[in-house]
């Protein structure tokens, strides 16, 4: 057939350490800009887990110039 085909492969990280890993990061800047990111990952008896939350906010310099974006991802195996 002449139909185009595409493949999208989305992978997320996996936990690999027996000790749970927790990481938090934050950045701030002009115009009320704030970015936050936190993840938790680990492994236990062949069971691995990874979860992440990210948020970005910007107030802007003009009225009604607000932007917000949040994402969540998880992988359990």
Residue 32 CA to residue 57 CA, distance in Å, equals 7
Residue 32, both tokens: 């009320």
pLDDT, tens digit, 9 for 90 and up, residues 17-57: 788 899 999 999 988 899 999 999 998 888 889 999 999 99
Residue 12 CA to residue 4 CA, distance in Å, equals 27
H helix and E strand count, the chain: 0, 4
Instruction: Name the one residue in this structure whose structure tokens are 């906010």.
Output: 57
Average pLDDT along the chain? 84
The model's pTM is 0.69
The predicted structure's pLDDT at residue 71: 92
The predicted structure's pLDDT at residue 2: 62
Residue 3 — very low, low, confident or very high, per pLDDT cuts 50/70/90?
A: low
Residue 32, helix vs strand vs coil? helix
- pLDDT of 77 strictly over 90: no
Beta strand pairing call for 67-76 and 47-58: antiparallel
- pLDDT of 10 strictly over 70: no
């Amino acid at each position: 057939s002449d139909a185009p085909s595409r493949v999208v492969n989305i992978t997320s990280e996996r936990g690999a350490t027996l000790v749970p890993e927790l990481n938090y990061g934050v950045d701030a800047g002009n115009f009320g800009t704030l970015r936050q990111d936190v993840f938790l990952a680990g492994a236990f008896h062949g069971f691995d887990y990874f979860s992440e939350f990210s948020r970005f906010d910007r107030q802007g310099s003009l009225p009604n110039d607000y932007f917000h974006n949040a994402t969540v991802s998880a992988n359990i195996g």
